Amino acid sequence: MTKTTNYIIFEFLSRSANEGFARSAVAAFAAQLDPTLEELGDIKTAVSEAVTNAIVHAYPDTLGRIVVKAKILEGNVLEISVRDWGRGIPDVEQARQPLYTTGGEERSGMGFTIMESFMDKLSVRSAEGKGTKVTMRRRILPRPAGK
């Protein structure tokens, strides 16, 4: 078990206006690891995708809770989890396929693919009618002194 050195937890309603807050809050928390602008951009994008998935797919016809946890683990690893209690994903493997979406033609179906490409590790746990938890990890490489 990897030791947690710091963490934040916050909860919000599944309104699209809160996606930007979640992205900014996690980015501000991650800043203590001194990420590059590119690393920070990757983290923000992955959080946006995970939160947007929860807003669009977990609660399509209602408002619900979303909880975001961000932890700093030993070895400069940032772990982010996005949890909802919405309708869940019937087939996680199918949902992780590029271009698969249940969100209508305006959705790209690339959310999980994007999260996977910007993070070192992605896990998705879901149960129909009980919700989904997406957990992502990214190691932030220490920068040489004086850079």
pTM comes to 0.88
Active site (catalytic) residues:
49, 53, 107
Q: Tell which residue, 52, 80, 84, 47, has the closest CA to residue 67.
A: 84
Q: In this predicted model, what pLDDT tens digit does every residue of 33-48 receive, in sequence order? A: 999 999 999 999 999 9
| Cα–Cα distance measured from residue 110 to residue 99, given in angstroms and rounded to the nearest whole number | 5
User: Does residue 7 sit in helix, strand or coil?
Assistant: strand
Identify the residue whose tokens are 């772990």: 79
Q: Are 58 and 64 in contact (CB under 8 A)?
A: yes
Confidence of residue 109 (pLDDT cuts 50, 70, 90): low
Which residues lie below 8 Å from residue 30, measured CB to CB, with a gap of 6+? 40, 43, 70, 78, 140
Give the 3-state secondary structure of 23-64: HHHHHHHHHHHCCCHHHHHHHHHHHHHHHHHHHHHHCCCCCC
Domains of the chain (ranges plus CATH)?
Answer: 4-139 (3.30.565.10)
Q: What is the mean pLDDT of residues 100-128?
A: 77
Q: Which residues are bridge partners to 79 per DSSP?
A: 71, 137
Q: Which residues are bridge partners to 138 per DSSP?
A: 78
Q: Any idea which of 5-9, 43-47, 92-96, 130-134 has the lowest mean pLDDT?
A: 92-96
